[in-house]
């Protein structure tokens, strides 16, 4: 069995990579993928705690987070495709002009 501390460290590393990717990248697709990476790190953490405590409540929360992530993917990609068709760029700096 893998110790919980190792899974927590892996989750922290994956979340950190996603956070740095969301802050550094300039294209909307890469920012979007970085946010998905952070959600996966949170899911990994919830599963590790559920296994450590022997409780299935955290694993139920994982299914809720996965459902929200799937909805985010569907809506987010549709928005990114619509913006790309309109502007022919998904650069986040260029999208700042869309603010009201």
pLDDT digits (tens, 9 = 90+) for 39-92: 999 999 989 988 888 888 888 888 888 898 889 888 988 988 888 888 777 777
Query: For 4-98, CATH number?
Result: 1.10.287.3510
Global pTM value: 0.80
CA 25 to chain centre: 14
Instruction: Encode pLDDT of 7-37 as tens digits.
Output: 999 999 999 999 999 999 888 888 888 999 9
pLDDT band at 100 (very low <50, low <70, confident <90, very high): low
DSSP 8-state class, residue 98: G
| Backbone dihedral angles phi then psi of residue 91, each to the nearest 5 degrees | -65, 130
Domain map (residue ranges) of the chain:
4-98
């Amino acid at each position: 069995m893998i110790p919980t501390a190792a899974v927590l460290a892996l989750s922290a590393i994956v979340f950190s990579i996603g956070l740095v990717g969301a802050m550094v990248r300039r294209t909307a697709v890469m920012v979007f993928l970085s946010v998905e990476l952070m959600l996966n790190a949170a899911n990994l953490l919830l599963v590790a705690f559920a296994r450590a405590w022997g409780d299935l409540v955290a694993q139920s929360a994982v299914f809720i987070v996965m459902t929200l992530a799937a909805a985010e993917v569907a809506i987010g990609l549709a928005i990114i495709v619509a913006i790309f068709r309109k502007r022919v760029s998904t650069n986040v700096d260029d999208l700042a002009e869309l603010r009201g």
